Structure 1
Amino acid sequence: MKNNKILIRCLCLALVGVITFWFYYRQIDVVQKFSLLTEDIKYLVRSGLGKVPEADPSTMIVAIDEHSVNELGRWPWDRKVMAELIGKLSGASIVCLDIVFSEPTNPASDRLLAKVFADNGNVITGFFFRPTASQKMSAGQLDILHDSAYSNFTLLDEVAGVKEFPAAELNIPEIDQAALAHAFFSTEPDLDGLYRRYPLVFTYRGYLYPPLAIQMVRFHRNRQAALTLDRDGICNFEMGEIRLQENYFGLNFYDPAQSTMISAVDVLRGKVGPERFKDALVLIGITESGVFDLRPTPVDPVIPGVWIHYTALNNLLNNEMLHGAPGLDYLLIALALAFIFLASRIRLFTLRFLCYFGVLGAILVLANYLHIVHNLWVHEFYPLAGVFLLAASLEATAFFFTERRASTLKKAFSSYVSPALVGEIMANPDHLVLGGTEREISILFSDIRGFTSLSEQVTPGQLVEMLTAVHNPMTNIILKNMGLLDKYIGDAMMALFNAPLDLENHAGCAVRSALEMLDQLHEINRSFADQGLPEIDVGVGVNTGKCIVGNMGSKVRFDYTAIGDAVNLASRLEGLCKTYHCRVIISEFTANCLDEELLLRRLDRVRVKGKQESVAIFEPMRRNEKNEVLCRHFVNAMDLYSAGNFAEAKAAFTQLETEYNDPVSSVFSGRCRDFQQAPPEVDWDGVHTLTDK
């Protein structure tokens, strides 16, 4: 019965997982519409929290609005008027038209408009694509258009994922020839008719074309766009600091009321002077409702089409595009289902359902956080739906299996190996074989000072509680800094960084962990004092070097660990903390890997027992004025010590010990006293040789 119950629960998890992943992968239209509705809630949350991003002040819309139409007459205007308007924008960095002049009018007006384009040298004309071919383009028109297509691209496969159009509505050749460049202003709504996305590329007659916003940023920043495409479309898009991996990016909408929109008639009448447009990026578009260039969006049901391009332009300038994260969506679905599966094991009904709703809330909070803070476009509908389906199926299963369940050990595997290692083992079962690989790692050893005498002062029960109170927060610090807890050795602990998974700046993570452990020690001792328990002290040693890392042991029991001289040296460094009266000592190999964020005090050069080579050791310290002054004076004292001027060195160390209460200086003060009484050998090289481990 028990086995059947487990089997059915696992089948529920597998079935719901497959269904959820399949619907996400297939993007079924009906389901996708529900997904879009849930995603729009994030815009409301963002607005309610006052986290709406701000547009770049250098961007603006010159609007052919109702006020302009009332003053100058219905659209379209004589192109002399447009020439006058654009002529007043000559100081702008880029002027882009969300308008197409596809038919010739008065030849003089057309020539005047083209001349203004040429004189300004900053005008990008717009065109749009048609779903059906309606007219033939001349070879000259196509040549002009081709000049503005993407030129730096790599095709990895047939580009089937990029939308292709059979026809385009272009400007008359005279106008297009005078323009700086050209770009399409066609956009596409989602399934429910709302505009949430902005295209990076459409194809026409074998060429890849950019939209208005991309073209404006290209010429404004003088950046070349580089595309890599495969059968699904864009797999990599780079333009300066802009990086995208999809055919579209999500529009990160601004508050329309806060956007800079200037009436065209105010520009023509001189109410807004040329200085207002100095080095600006200007979009000219129609906002008058009678022209019907209106678009529904999640933030406004009726908004001018030019505002879509304005939003995209600012997204690109500020690098605030909403971009998808399919891998994160898959991970979120998997984690949500896993948490629900685990929560269903809770016996107490109320607590179990609180966990269910907690997972739902966590998904919503995470989705909104990623949207607002990291501009990530998470499809939270699918993990939410998966949670509902799995919780319902598991509760139905539990209803039919009413017998008591024996309590079992949870996460037995994770109790003796790290979660990071569990993930690697599950992904690569072959790693369970004995043996290892050589890799550079940073090793941290930590030990409680005077543990033997401490055990004599408290009861065994209190001793266990104290060890737990120390190990819990110290372990959390290691895991937070991406370390792997290798093992507990009584009161000591050993941690690895850069194993089993690669970790950049692993030496920095190890040293940062050591310093954070010292900070945590103050809190632990404060808690012990409140309980009437004795305070403790720790020593931490950190070394970096190449080791053999992997599964060690026997076929019936293995231990993921590291072996090598670098591990032994890390252990010796931890022991040296007692010798030098400090709490953290790192080797020169670790010090060489650190940045300048931390202050390093060079303590000595030592030769450990059993080794001929010496190694420099350092004490890491947080950078502040007091520590910098201490280190500077300590270096001067060490120079005297290394030169054999033991009397002067002793005086310098004694002064540091007195002024800064520096226990390390007291060690060298005593060593100088000893050398005064029994000078070192003539060939003494300043290296301190250790006689024990």
Structure 2
Amino acid sequence: MDFLRRHGPRVLLTLLPLVLALLHAVGALPIGLLARLDNIVYDARLQATMPRTLDERVVIIDIDERSLAEIGRWPWGRHQLARLTDEVFDRQGAAVLGFDVLFAEPDESSGLRRLRELARDELRDQPAFAQRVRQLEGGLDYDGLFARSLQGRPVVLGYYFTNDSQGRASGVLPAPALPAQRLDGRPIRFTSWSGYGANIERLVAAAPLGGYFNPMVDSDGVVRAVPLLTEFHGRYYESLSLAVFRTLLGLPEVEPVFVPGARGYHALDAVRLRLGDKALDIPVAEGVTVLVPFRGPGGVDGGSFRYISAADVIQGKLAPESLRGKVVLVGTTAPGLKDLRVTPVGEAYAGVEAHANLVSGLLDGRTLVKPDYAVGYDVVVLVLGGLALAALLPALSAARAIGVSALVIAAGVGLNFWLYLSMGLVLPLAAFLAMALTAFALNMSYGYFVESRNKRELAQLFGTYVPPELVDEMVKSPESYSMAATNKELTVMFCDMRGFTRLSEQMEPIQLQALLNRLFTRLTDIIRANRGTIDKYMGDCVMAFWGAPVDTPRHAALAVKTALEMAQAVELVNQEHRAAGLPAIGIGIGLNTGTMCVGDMGSDVRRAYTVIGDEVNLASRLEGLSKFYGGVIVASESTREAAPEFAWQELDKVRVKGKERAVSIFQPLPDAAEADTELNTWAGFLKAWRSQDWPACEALLHGLRAQHGDKALYALYAERLQDMRAQPADPAWDGATNYETK
């Protein structure tokens, strides 16, 4: 709630592009620019990842300009196509032949029909003429010649569907590839048509397997996908690519694969080809479509497939066995025959090569599909990315916001590309990119134009009193800070240096000053690194506090951590001194946690952001006590309770000057693991001490000193124990030590 209070406007501004992107993703508010951008991203990714290698398994027989010049204009007499078919199978040994051309009308180019009419009418009284016509029929029946060449061979004839408003149809459709009953009554969303243009009956009877060559044309006029199966009048037919592939596999049965457990799901998960106990699943998208896995830029010189001029095949110029075991597709690159398409990899791409690419992808098991759950994926990625940006950007500096935004975008793009490369999944990316970039731009604009003025004012106000590290954090939400005095629970530290008198006798003032400055610099760095605010320097003493002006829930723990690190830093300095023959520096630290008054205080001439109150005074008294207990750090019980993650050793119960109530004092131990046994024994000693059980105290203390004889704390209590045993027991004694000095 505090985050929303401080950053609410920026959060809402960051979420705005998320909402718009979600509306686009679910189709409630389609944004054409994003749809075009998704296509651009897909096309660029496809071009960048195409293998650009030759697939020798698929060959294209091209009805090219040279073939038209040598054989004649299209359509050719079907005796020429019979020659082509015989050549492909008899001399070349191809595995399967697919025609990406249509034979919609009978071939009457031989004149046989007119000869028959003459024999039947004008020349019916000349039996010799009629007999001669009958003799010539075998060679002049071009459709018959072509049909006989197709008979019993692995040939797939192409045809097309149309959405003619009148539902016109011509020719004969092949048998459906998928029986309707296998759909189990599910209303699968197939691509549907109202009419068709198919091959003549004689050819279909000779080569009953056929496949439509309709592509899917996107709104921008680009062919990116092909429906693998399609629906016409309740029957389900296969594409030319699938029919060729099935023929190559031995005509496996076609089965639908439904999403498990999704009875109301109106799309197929995959198309399964089953042959005996073997099955192959081909993932499909909405409309039972697959994206064409283009191998390269296309064309005769594209390097993806071998192109052979149809004239060379018909004229027998091809070396025998050149097509042994190949998949052969017959199509055209001649511009006049109008089978050139706009694709992501070329603006004049031969339609036959699109089928060749899909056959190649099916052979490799390398198909691309935009799954039906793409919308759900888009929504999940948008929500995760958008919420992450909304939660992080408002609280970050410009540099870090750039880093976080780049990381979020990189994660989304990386996941998208990984799914594409590893699984062939084509998932939307444009909405995510637009959302992330817009969210970043709006957030930074708001921060620059709206918040920067408030931040500059806050930096000017606090910069004199507060460390720059905390000012940088404060300017993220300037409205939350002021210089007004307030009562807060804080932890305050007093740190005093000892031993400078002896040093002053051995060092010049300038050297002593440099030493003191160097030491304070080390200690200051430690305080700042642990989010402390340095209140003031007082001679050889430094005062700091935690928890203001920036709220710090773990202020006590950070203060204790700082004190331990400061003690280590002074020990390192002493090691340097011992090496140089200089006396060691002592240090005393007092810590207290409690409610204090913090704010901008002072006179009109000089002011400071500081803390005052009884709890501050207690910390100062505890710092002075450290020299009596032989340690470096003395902390109050309230600090120990606020930082339970440290190991603590109770030192005493004391009554300091200006306090009527006795307080327990503690020291944190740097190595808790080695202190467990010692602490348990020491706790027993203090219990015996406060109950004036001197024999028990002596026994426990003897054991402690035997193991830790050099510890000043135990030596102190040994002296006290001798004094206490010489005095009679005091029923009113509360176990506290009274100190009257500061």
Name the TM-score, length of structure 1 as normaliser. Answer: 0.53
Distance 1:155 1:187, change over 3 A: farther
AA at the equivalent of 1:39: Y
AA at the equivalent of 1:164: S
Instruction: Report the equivalent of 2:162.
Output: 130
Provide structure 2 residue ranges, at least 5 long, that are not aligned to the other structure.
113-140, 259-263, 274-278, 456-472, 477-563, 566-742
Q: Is the counterpart of residue 77 in structure 1 residue 111 in structure 2?
A: no
Q: Secondary structure at the match of 2:187?
A: coil
Shift of 1:348: 2.9
CA distance in 2 between partners of 1:25 and 1:294 (Å): 34
The structure 1 residue matched to 2:43, chosen from 40, 59, 64, is 40
Alignment of 1:215-234 (within 5 A): 215-222=243-250, 223-228=252-257, 232-234=266-268
CA distance in 2 between partners of 1:357 and 1:136 (Å): 55
The structure 1 residue matched to 2:145, chosen from 107, 112, 133, is 112
Distance 1:339 1:147, change over 3 A: closer
Give the RMSD, CA atoms, in angstroms. 3.2
Q: Secondary structure at the match of 1:225?
A: strand
Which is worse superposed, 65-74 or 126-135? 126-135
Q: Is the 8 A contact 1:267 1:273 kept in 2?
A: no
AA at the equivalent of 1:185: F
Q: Is the counterpart of residue 95 in structure 1 residue 97 in structure 2?
A: yes
Alignment of 1:70-469 (within 5 A): 70-90=69-89, 91-106=93-108, 108-119=141-152, 121-132=153-164, 145-150=174-179, 153-155=182-184, 157-159=186-188, 161-222=189-250, 223-228=252-257, 232-239=266-273, 240-246=279-285, 247-255=288-296, 256=298, 257-258=302-303, 259-325=305-371, 326=374, 327-345=376-394, 347-398=396-447, 399-401=449-451
**Matched residue count:** 405
Q: Is the 8 A contact 2:61 2:309 kept in 1?
A: yes
Shift of 1:338: 3.9
AA at the equivalent of 2:282: R
Provide structure 1 residue ranges, at least 5 long, that are not aligned to the other structure.
409-459, 462-693
Q: Is the 8 A contact 1:153 1:226 kept in 2?
A: yes
AA at the equivalent of 2:450: F
Distance 1:293 1:30, change over 3 A: same
AA at the equivalent of 2:290: F
CA distance in 1 between partners of 2:7 and 2:328 (Å): 64
CA distance in 2 between partners of 1:376 and 1:2 (Å): 38
Q: Secondary structure at the match of 1:276?
A: coil
Instruction: Report the equivalent of 1:62.
Output: 61
Q: Is the 8 A contact 2:59 2:326 kept in 1?
A: yes
The structure 2 residue matched to 1:31, chosen from 28, 34, 47, is 34
Shift of 1:242: 2.9
Shift of 1:332: 3.2
Q: Is the 8 A contact 2:329 2:352 kept in 1?
A: yes
Alignment of 1:456-495 (within 5 A): none
Which is worse superposed, 22-31 or 229-238? 229-238
Q: Secondary structure at the match of 2:157?
A: strand
Q: Is the 8 A contact 1:56 1:317 kept in 2?
A: no
AA at the equivalent of 2:51: V
Shift of 1:130: 1.7
Q: Is the 8 A contact 1:155 1:228 kept in 2?
A: no
CA distance in 2 between partners of 1:115 and 1:135 (Å): 32
Measured against aligned partners, the alpha-carbon deviations of 1:532-568 in whole angstroms (never above 9, x if no partner) come to xxxxxxxxxxxxxxxxxxxxxxxxxxxxxxxxxxxxx
Distance 1:93 1:134, change over 3 A: farther
Measured against aligned partners, the alpha-carbon deviations of 1:350-395 in whole angstroms (never above 9, x if no partner) come to 2322432444345445544443444221321111011122223333
Q: Is the 8 A contact 2:211 2:237 kept in 1?
A: yes
CA distance in 1 between partners of 2:212 and 2:236 (Å): 11
Instruction: Report the equivalent of 2:126.
Output: none
Q: Secondary structure at the match of 1:203?
A: strand
- Percent identity between the two aligned chains: 22
CA distance in 2 between partners of 1:281 and 1:82 (Å): 17
CA distance in 1 between partners of 2:19 and 2:360 (Å): 39
Q: Is the 8 A contact 1:65 1:263 kept in 2?
A: yes
Q: Is the 8 A contact 2:63 2:331 kept in 1?
A: yes
Distance 1:397 1:202, change over 3 A: same
Instruction: Report the equivalent of 2:615.
Output: none
CA distance in 2 between partners of 1:231 and 1:133 (Å): 30
Q: Is the 8 A contact 2:398 2:444 kept in 1?
A: no
Q: Secondary structure at the match of 2:328?
A: strand
CA distance in 2 between partners of 1:351 and 1:360 (Å): 14
Distance 1:98 1:245, change over 3 A: closer
Distance 1:150 1:299, change over 3 A: farther
Shift of 1:93: 1.9
CA distance in 1 between partners of 2:272 and 2:321 (Å): 33
Alignment of 1:448-597 (within 5 A): none
Q: Secondary structure at the match of 1:168?
A: strand
Distance 1:381 1:272, change over 3 A: same
Q: Secondary structure at the match of 2:103?
A: coil
Q: Is the 8 A contact 2:96 2:154 kept in 1?
A: yes
Q: Secondary structure at the match of 1:132?
A: coil
CA distance in 2 between partners of 1:384 and 1:396 (Å): 18
User: Over alpha carbons, which structure has the higher Rg?
Assistant: 2
Q: Is the 8 A contact 1:150 1:210 kept in 2?
A: no
Shift of 1:169: 0.4
Shift of 1:13: 5.0
Q: Is the 8 A contact 1:89 1:274 kept in 2?
A: no
CA distance in 2 between partners of 1:30 and 1:384 (Å): 12
CA distance in 2 between partners of 1:7 and 1:155 (Å): 52
CA distance in 2 between partners of 1:150 and 1:271 (Å): 43
Distance 1:210 1:387, change over 3 A: same
Shift of 1:25: 2.2
CA distance in 2 between partners of 1:273 and 1:150 (Å): 42
Which is worse superposed, 345-354 or 192-201? 345-354
CA distance in 2 between partners of 1:135 and 1:349 (Å): 62
Distance 1:157 1:242, change over 3 A: closer
Q: Secondary structure at the match of 2:223?
A: coil
Q: Secondary structure at the match of 2:308?
A: strand
Name the TM-score, length of structure 2 as normaliser. Answer: 0.50
Distance 1:249 1:317, change over 3 A: same
CA distance in 2 between partners of 1:233 and 1:55 (Å): 35
Shift of 1:113: 0.5
